[in-house]
Structure 1
Amino acid sequence: MSDSASVVVHLLDKEYRVACPPGERDNLIRAARFLDDRMREVREANVVGLERIAVMAALNLAHELLQSNSALDNRANNSDRLAQLLQKMDAEISAHQRLRDPRD
């Protein structure tokens, strides 16, 4: 028995049969619908030819992915920096409290 099954997806009214693990079927269908929507947007911008539409949609999606990854990296870096500052503040507060209360 095979670990994957085939799923039929539609992109710009063309049918494609794609191998897919059984647990990923719904995700593949959602991804195909998303891609189909993007390809239709590109076609509506007067891009002609299936290959050119597919390439332009792929480039747009890759660009958006890279922007999202960059934003996530910036958030992670900011979060790390904030954690470092909070640790430094905690250490300063603790040191200040020890100076004020010698019982510690």
Structure 2
Amino acid sequence: MTQPQTVTVKILDKDYPIHCPPQQRANLESAARYLDGKMREIRNSGKVIGADRIAVLAALNIAHELLQQQGSAVAGDTREQVRELLERVDRALQEEAEQRQG
């Protein structure tokens, strides 16, 4: 088992040392860059003041994005399930019609 290492990420010009397994370092750094970008967008809008408020709004925006993506995936799965059910119904109706004729 690999030991966690300390990785320092910078978010809104502040350094945050975070313990992280070596194999997750790239994911952590990518997530930190994404969060930093979201927070900078909010800060640069000039409508929100204070790092705490910016962080909360960024977290809410990211959570909203995630839920939308999950909703899209679920909707896609549901469409696929409905399509499969319709195909099964069509096959069953066709088999029934063939049995009546035969």
**CA distance in 1 between partners of 2:33 and 2:15 (Å):** 12
In the alignment, which residue of structure 1 is the partner of 2:91? 90
Shift >4 Å, 4+ stretches: none
User: What is the TM-score normalised by the length of structure 2?
Assistant: 0.88
In the alignment, which residue of structure 2 is the partner of 1:7? 7
**CA distance in 2 between partners of 1:64 and 1:54 (Å):** 15
% identical equivalent positions: 40
Q: Is residue 2:27 matched to residue 1:41?
A: no
In the alignment, which residue of structure 2 is the partner of 1:73? 74
Aligned length: 101
Mark the runs of 5 or more structure 2 residues left unpaired by the alignment: none
Q: Deviations over 1:23-57 (max 9, x none)?
A: 11001111111111000001011111111111110
Q: Is the 8 A contact 2:2 2:22 kept in 1?
A: no
Deviation at 1:98, TM superposition (A): 4.0
User: What is the TM-score normalised by the length of structure 1?
Assistant: 0.86
SS at match of 2:49: coil
Amino acid at match of 1:53: I
Which has the larger displacement, 69-78 or 45-54? 69-78
SS at match of 2:75: helix
Mark the runs of 5 or more structure 1 residues left unpaired by the alignment: none
**CA distance in 1 between partners of 2:86 and 2:13 (Å):** 55
